[in-house]
Amino acid sequence: MKFKNNSLFWIAGAISVIFDQLTKYWVVQNFEFRESWPLWEGVFHFTYVTNTGAAFSLFSNNGAWLRWLSLAVSLGLMALAWFGPRMNRWEEVGFGLILGGAVGNGIDRFMLGEVTDFLDFRLINFPVFNVADVSINLGIICLLIVMFRPSPPRNEGPTSH
């Protein structure tokens, strides 16, 4: 069994987890629960809230299983990076960012039973979110780029006529 390198996957995942956890720590240390600091009044605030559910507070009444989903996604992505095919750069970064987001929110779910959210984009009344959520969405965008980007032509080698 051969392990793949996929170093950008690991780098993107690690940076994502570290940045997510540092920003959540900063919020918890500097804000009272539900306190809000406007960065741009009425447009973007830092607002400390928690979420026991998934995105948009889905499953917030019975979201304990989400910790296991975070763990399963994380282990699946790590297995893909170790044992799956060699990824291109966009795939490595995309899957790495998704891993980082799953691990970041998974740490919160296992340690606290809820996820710390603080990015409050009020211009369109969007639910409060966090860096892990941003990482997951950026990862999905990277994978969409791969899907819709034309594949380079394969070099079939010399042909005989």
**pLDDT tens, position by position, 99-140:** 999 999 999 999 999 999 999 999 998 999 999 999 999 999
> Is the pLDDT confidence value at 1 over 50?
no
141 Cβ contact list (under 8 Å, min separation 6): 94
> Is the pLDDT confidence value at 15 over 50?
yes
pLDDT value at residue 149: 84
> Is the pLDDT confidence value at 147 over 70?
yes
Query: How many Å apart are CA 148 and CA 30, to the nearest integer?
Result: 42
Distances (CA, A) of 47 to 1, 28, 32, 40: 47, 11, 9, 12
pLDDT: which is higher, 3 or 89: 89
pLDDT value at residue 60: 54
Average pLDDT on 33-50 reads 97
Catalytic sites, residue numbers: 117, 133
Token readout for 148 is 């819709």
pLDDT tens digits, one per residue of 50-106? 988 665 555 455 567 778 888 999 999 999 999 988 899 999 999 999 999 999 999
